């Protein structure tokens, strides 16, 4: 999920020039912001953002900003966050950093090139050219490193324009972890070993871990590191993650975990971790050794560290047996009442209605076409009633060369 979702597409749809006044909903456990959208500006909790040609955030998405599911003690996303925080018990925690960030924080600070596809409008929610809803909690890595804590966790909601199905939603939650050590062959190893001996980093016992990743030119060691320090930091990262997974999945027998090579502009080497669930490999986190340029920016020239970013919905869906990502946003008491703070309990579906399927086909406009823009339109019009959007036909007229697509939209209410 994590790496692949930071890719592709270029946007075409301009934001509609309508004037809307929307007040974010306030359910018993939500703290949505007040916001106003006009032709020229977006006002959120009293702060004004001037619209420009980058603006593409919709009122539906703004209504989700700051619902803070990860802070409601009874919510599965929060239960997972707390279990992870208790595993990394000596980490400083940040869970209330605003999701409205600058593009500098979301991209530039993380060495993401100006022309990188991950900046595309069709993948992100921009308030304007320089302000956006964060696409990942890595946007706060630098802030955390500057806080003086050498071990910290940042949790929060993140926003990405995306396809529509049971495991994709434009808002989800991530948890970022960063740890750094003195960059010195003896000291690094000492600090890593001290952590391992503390027992916190005990090797996962019942989890079958497959890891045949090796340091190679395609996923290299950084020039400023030495093989010894890299080895120590990478093993700290791997022990930390494997033991956390083991703790979370203590009651799931025969769990399989695998490490694979990955690429992120802000770490090297980089990896992803996948968990085998119901016969399929699910990506649950991206991680790596922090690029030294980032450490420098934080004034940590003589330190070496690792970072990881976990997707909380994926973990919660597996652990709690929650079949559809929309359920996390349900305001139906029958959802939230099933859960107890600090405990993992299997979700009992409270209603399952038959789906209602409608096909829609249309000719494409002459300008370029982005599927994410269509999905965004569907979400704006039909909201959480839509469970799945799937392309079922793609036709190009032999004479006129005009292209037509047919999408199948599956509607199903989660609670009514
Ligand atoms: N931010 C990355 C993502 O969302 C995950 C990541 C975090 C990768 C930290 C490396 C280090 O895809």
Distance 263 CA to ligand 1 centre (A): 9
Q: Which fold has domain 69-336?
A: BirA Bifunctional Protein; domain 2 (3.30.930)
Cα–ligand 1 centroid distance for 286 (angstroms): 5
The candidate with the shortest Cα–Cα distance to 70, out of 155, 152, 159, 138, is 155
pLDDT per position as a tens digit, 307-341: 999 999 999 998 999 989 999 999 889 999 999 99
Instruction: Work out the average pLDDT over 62-69.
Output: 88
Greatest mean pLDDT range, 54-68, 145-159, 160-174, 379-393: 145-159
Closest atom of ligand 1 to CA, residue 1: 12
Q: What percent of the chain has pLDDT over 70?
A: 90
- Which of 264, 291, 311, 313 gets mutated to test ligand 1 (max ligand atoms within 8 A of its CB)? 264
What are the domain boundaries of the chain?
69-336
Say whether pLDDT at 17 is over 60: no
Look at residues 256, 254, 248 and name the one whose alpha carbon lies nearest to residue 273: 256
**Span of 109-113, 116-120, 207-211, 396-400 with lowest mean pLDDT:** 207-211
For ligand 1, atom 7: residue with the closest CA: 309
For position 171, what pLDDT does the model report?
Answer: 95
**What is the C-alpha separation between 222 and 292, in angstroms, rounded?**
8
User: CA–CA separation, 72 vs 177, rounded Å?
Assistant: 21
Task: Express the helix, strand and coil content of the chain in percent, nearest 5 each.
Answer: 25, 30, 45
* Pocket residues: Cβ below 6 A from ligand 1: 2-3, 6, 136, 138, 264, 267, 270, 286-288, 307-309
- Separation of alpha carbons 257 and 207, rounded Å: 7
Q: What is the pLDDT of residue 202?
A: 55
Give 253 or 129, the one with higher predicted confidence: 129
What is residue 148's predicted lDDT score, i.e. its pLDDT? 96
- How remote is the CA of residue 135 from the centroid of ligand 1, in Å? 10
Q: What is the pLDDT of residue 194?
A: 86
Q: Which atom of ligand 1 is nearest to the CA of 158?
A: 4
The residue whose C-alpha atom lies closest to atom 12 belonging to ligand 1 is: 2
Radius of gyration of the chain (CA): 22
Residue whose entry in the numeric block shows the structure tokens 């037509």: 404
Distance 309 CA to ligand 1 centre (A): 5
Arithmetic mean of pLDDT, 337-365: 91
Q: How far apart are the first and last CA of the chain?
A: 30
Q: What is the pLDDT of residue 6?
A: 31
What does the block give as tokens for 230?
Answer: 């890299």
Checking if the pLDDT of 10 tops 50, the result is no
Chain segment 99-158, per-residue pLDDT in tens: 999 999 999 999 999 999 999 999 999 999 999 999 999 999 999 999 999 999 999 999
* pTM across the whole model: 0.86
* Atom number of ligand 1 nearest to Cα 290: 11
Which ligand 1 atom is the nearest neighbour of the CA of 178?
Answer: 9
Atom 10 of ligand 1, residue of closest alpha carbon: 287
pLDDT of residue 229: 94
Kindly tell me if the per-residue pLDDT of 390 is higher than 70: yes
Q: What distance in angstroms lies between residue 2's CA and the mean position of ligand 1's atoms?
A: 7
The rounded Å distance from CA 251 to ligand 1 centre is: 27
Long-range CB contacts (< 8 A, 24+ apart) of 360-366?
Answer: 360/406, 360/407, 360/409, 361/393, 361/404, 361/405, 361/406, 361/407, 362/404, 362/405, 363/402, 363/403, 363/404, 364/402, 364/403, 364/404, 364/405, 365/12
Q: What rounded mean pLDDT belongs to the chain?
A: 87
Average pLDDT over residues 264-284: 91
- pLDDT score for 155: 98
**Nearest protein CA to atom 3 of ligand 1, as residue:** 2
Pocket of ligand 1, candidates 2, 145, 270: which has the most ligand atoms within 8 Å of its Cβ, to mutate?
A: 2
């Amino acid at each position: 999920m994590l790496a692949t979702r930071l890719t592709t597409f270029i946007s075409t749809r301009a934001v509609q020039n309508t004037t809307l006044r929307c007040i974010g909903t306030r359910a018993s456990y939500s703290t949505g912001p007040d916001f106003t959208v006009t032709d020229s500006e977006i006002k959120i909790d009293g702060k004004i953002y001037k619209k420009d040609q980058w603006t593409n955030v919709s009122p539906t998405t703004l209504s989700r900003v700051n619902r803070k599911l990860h802070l409601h003690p009874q919510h599965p996303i929060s239960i997972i966050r707390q279990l992870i925080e208790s595993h990394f018990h000596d980490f400083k925690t940040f869970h209330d950093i605003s999701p409205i960030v600058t593009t500098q924080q979301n991209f530039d600070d993380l060495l993401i090139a100006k022309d990188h596809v991950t900046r595309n409008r069709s993948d992100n929610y921009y308030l304007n050219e320089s302000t956006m809803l964060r696409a990942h909690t890595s946007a706060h890595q630098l802030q955390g490193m500057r806080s003086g804590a050498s071990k910290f966790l940042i949790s929060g909601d993140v926003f990405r324009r995306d396809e529509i199905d049971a495991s994709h939603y434009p808002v989800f939650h991530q948890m970022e972890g960063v740890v750094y050590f003195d960059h010195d062959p003896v000291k690094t190893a000492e600090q890593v070993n001290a952590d391992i001996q503390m027992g916190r980093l005990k090797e996962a016992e019942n989890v079958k871990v497959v890891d045949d990743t090796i340091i190679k030119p395609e996923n290299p060691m950084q020039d400023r590191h030495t093989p010894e320090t890299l080895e120590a930091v990478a093993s700290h990262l791997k022990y930390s993650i494997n033991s956390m997974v083991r703790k979370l999945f203590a009651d799931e027998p025969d769990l399989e975990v695998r490490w694979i090579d990955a690429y992120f502009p802000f770490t090297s080497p980089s990896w992803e971790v996948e968990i085998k669930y119901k016969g399929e490999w699910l990506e649950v986190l991206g991680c790596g050794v922090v690029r030294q340029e980032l450490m420098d920016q934080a004034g940590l020239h003589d330190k070496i560290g690792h970072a990881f970013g976990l997707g909380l919905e994926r973990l919660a869906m597996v652990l709690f047996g929650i079949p559809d990502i929309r359920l996390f946003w349900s305001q139906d008491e029958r959802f939230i009442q099933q859960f107890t703070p600090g405990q993992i309990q299997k979700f009992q579906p409270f209603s399952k209605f038959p789906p209602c399927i409608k096909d829609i086909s249309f000719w494409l406009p002459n300008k370029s076409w982005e599927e994410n823009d269509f999905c965004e339109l569907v979400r704006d019009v039909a909201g959480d009633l839509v469970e799945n959007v799937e392309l079922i036909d793609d036709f190009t007229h032999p004479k006129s060369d005009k292209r037509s697509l047919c999408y199948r939209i599956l509607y199903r209410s989660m609670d009514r």
